[in-house]
Chain A
Amino acid sequence: MACLSLLLATGGLLIPPLSAGQQQAEKLMDAPGADLVRSKCTLCHDLGNITRIRQTREEWEDTLKTMIRRGAPITPADETIIVDYLTKYYGK
Chain B
Amino acid sequence: MDSYDGPNADLEQGKKDVVTRRVFLKSAGRLGAILAVGSAAIALDAAAQTAQMPASSPTSSPAPAPTLPGPVVPNAAVIAEKDPVMKVLTERPLTANVTAENLSDAVTPTNRLFIRNNLLTPELQEAGHTLTIKGLVDKPMTLTFDDLKKTFPAVTVQGMLECAGSGRTAFSPLPKGTPWNPSGGYGCPRWTGARLREILKAAGVKSGAVHVAFFGADFGELPTAPPVARSIPMSKALEPNTLVAWAINGEPLPKVHGFPLRMMVPGWVGSASTKWLVGIEVLDAPFKGTYMDDSYRVPAHPVAPGEKMPKESVSTEAWPVKSVITAPAPGAKFKIGDSIAVAGKAWAGENSITKVEISLDEGVSWTRATLAKPGDKYAWRLFSYTVQPRRQGYMTILARATDSKGIVQPIVATWNPLGYFWNGIHRVGVTVEKA
Contacts and interface: CB of A to CB of B under 8 A. Distances in A.
Interface of A: 1-2, 4-6, 8-9, 12-16, 18, 23, 26-28, 30, 34-35, 38-40, 42-49, 52-56, 58-59, 62-63, 66, 69-73, 92
A72 B225 CA distance: 7
B91 interface: yes
19 contacts: A1-B36, A1-B37, A5-B37, A9-B41, A15-B45, A15-B76, A15-B79, A34-B60, A35-B59, A38-B53, A39-B59, A40-B63, A42-B62, A44-B92, A44-B225, A53-B176, A56-B308, A66-B290, A70-B294
Contacts of A55: 176
Contacts of A1: 33, 36-37, 40
A6 to B, nearest CB: 7
A71 B17 CA distance: 14
A70 B291 CA distance: 9
B62 to A, nearest CB: 6
Given A59-B308, A63-B176, A66-B295, A5 B63 contact: no
Contact of B222 (A2, A12, A13, A43): A43
A56 to B, nearest CB: 8
Given A4-B40, A15-B91, A43 B63 contact: yes
Contacts of A69: 226, 290, 294
Interface in B116-145: 119
B419 to A, nearest CB: 10
Nearest to A35: B59
* Interface-centre pick from B53, B223, B226 (highest chain A CB count, 10 A): B53
Contacts of B119: 44
A70 B290 contact: yes
Given A5-B40, A13-B74, A46-B91, A52 B179 contact: yes
Interface string B43-73: 1111011101110110111110000000000
B299 to A, nearest CB: 14
A44 B93 contact: yes
A19 B60 CA distance: 22
B222 A73 contact: yes
A44 B57 contact: no
Contacts of A42: 46, 49, 62, 92
B interface, size bucket: 35 or more
A27 B63 CA distance: 17
Contacts of B175: 53
A26 B40 contact: no
Nearest to B59: A35
A40 to B, nearest CB: 7
Highest count of chain A CB atoms <10 Å: which of B40, B62, B75: B40
A59 to B, nearest CB: 6
A16 B330 CA distance: 24
Contacts of B336: none
A30 B331 CA distance: 39
A6 B174 CA distance: 37
A26 B88 CA distance: 14
Contact of A16 (B41, B56, B79): B79
Interface in B353-409: none
Contacts of B224: 71-73
Contacts of A66: 290, 294-295
A58 B308 contact: yes
Contacts of B309: 62
A5 B226 contact: no
Contacts of B79: 15-16
B348 to A, nearest CB: 30
B145 to A, nearest CB: 28
Which 7 pairs from chain A and chain B are nearest by CB?
Answer: A71-B224, A5-B40, A71-B225, A13-B76, A66-B294, A71-B222, A69-B290
